[in-house]
């Protein structure tokens, strides 16, 4: 099948690779513009653009180019922008969405599933409609969330979605007979800096879920500290207090306590939390966090 592929992040690359491996003709790849990444000033291509160029595919940043590409169908995987209704009217498109629709429609379904404490998530291969993630579903695949990080889930879902996508494209009955979504819809709003801000007013369990997203942080005596790894502990610290308890750096919340294992103090490299504590506080110190 002649396909246009629309995608941007690393999680979209397995689907692009799978299409090529399955013998589909990817006539055009559309991705978001190059960005400045890291500390350097040079522009860097998106992961999808880099993969497409490695395959020798034609790449563009213009959605309008799909109209004249000769594609029979489009495939969208985390492209990062709404596809106009006018384009969908010309070329039907499949979307690889990383949730069990209609739960977690929107921009951050994996992260919101973790934050909500969902037991499972998955991928839905759906037909795109002009409205947000409302299209009928051709195929659904499920996995358990357990204690996985967002990064781990994205990797698993990316490969699960790629396999499901090929199954739909290569199975005429699945491609021709999508099923309307059933159930109550929930919406996965984009993450903000505040989403990743750990707070003693919340529970220790929510703090751990937030850490699993990547980029979590708090303030200890007014200084920002990134929290990379943490675990729940039975040892109790008062809400808003950080203390060394049984050899662990423990933060108290309104509901339980958690210990931080790996931290990144502002302006410093990642380090073991106990080494950070020993370098800054004495063993009996009780300090405040927010």
Taking the domains of the chain in order of start, what are their residue ranges? 2-188, 204-288
Q: What is the pLDDT of residue 42?
A: 79
Q: What is the pLDDT of residue 37?
A: 66
CA distance 278 to 6: 49
Are 2-188 and 204-288 equal in CATH topology? no
Spans of the chain, pLDDT less than 50 = none
Pick the CATH number of 204-288 from 3.10.25.10, 3.90.1300.10, 3.40.50.2000, 3.40.190.10: 3.10.25.10
DSSP letter for 261, please: E
CB 20 within 8 Å of CB 1:
no
Q: Which CATH superfamily is domain 2-188 in?
A: Formyl transferase, N-terminal domain (3.40.50.170)
CA distance 289 to 241: 6
Q: Please provide the distance, in angstroms rounded to a whole number, between the alpha carbons at the two ends of the chain.
A: 54
| 3-class SS shares of the chain: helix, strand, coil, % to 5 | 30, 30, 40
In the block, tokens 């690359």 appear at 13
CA distance 207 to 75: 36
Residues in a beta bridge with 227: 263
Q: What is the pLDDT of residue 36?
A: 74
Residues in a beta bridge with 123: 141
CB 254 within 8 Å of CB 227:
no
pLDDT in tens, 86-126: 999 999 999 999 999 999 999 999 999 999 999 999 999 99
Q: What is the pLDDT of residue 259?
A: 97
Q: What is the pLDDT of residue 39?
A: 63
What global pTM score does this model have? 0.94
Alpha helix positions (H), 55-149:
85-90, 109-115
Residues in a beta bridge with 233: 257
């Amino acid at each position: 099948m002649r396909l246009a592929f629309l995608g941007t992040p690393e999680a979209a690359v397995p689907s692009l690779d799978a299409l090529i491996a399955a013998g589909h003709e990817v006539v055009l790849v559309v991705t978001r513009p190059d960005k400045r990444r890291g500390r350097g000033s040079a522009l860097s291509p998106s992961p999808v653009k880099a993969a497409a160029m490695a395959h020798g595919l034609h790449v563009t940043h213009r959605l309008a180019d799909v109209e004249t590409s000769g594609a029979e169908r489009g495939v969208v995987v985390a492209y990062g922008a709404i596809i106009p209704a006018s384009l969908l009217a010309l070329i039907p498109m499949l979307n690889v969405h990383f949730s069990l629709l209609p739960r977690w429609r929107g921009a951050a379904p994996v992260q919101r599933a973790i934050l909500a404490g969902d037991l499972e998530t998955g991928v839905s291969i759906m037909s795109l409609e002009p409205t947000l993630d409302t299209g009928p579903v051709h195929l659904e695949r499920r996995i358990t969330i357990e204690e996985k990080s967002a990064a781990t889930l994205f990797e698993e879902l990316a490969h699960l979605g790629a396999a499901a996508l090929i199954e739909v494209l290569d199975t005429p009955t699945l491609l021709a007979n999508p099923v309307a979504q059933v159930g109550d819809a929930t919406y996965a709003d984009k993450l903000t800096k505040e989403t990743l801000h750990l707070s003693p007013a919340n529970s220790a369990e929510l703090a751990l879920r937030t850490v699993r997203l990547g980029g979590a942080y708090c303030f200890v005596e007014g200084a920002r500290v990134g929290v990379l790894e943490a675990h729940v502990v039975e040892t109790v610290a008062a809400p808003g207090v950080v203390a060394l308890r049984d050899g662990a750096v423990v933060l108290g919340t309104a509901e339980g306590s958690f210990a931080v294992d790996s931290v990144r103090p502002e302006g410093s490299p990642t380090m073991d939390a106990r080494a950070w504590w020993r370098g800054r506080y004495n063993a009996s110190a009780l300090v405040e966090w927010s």
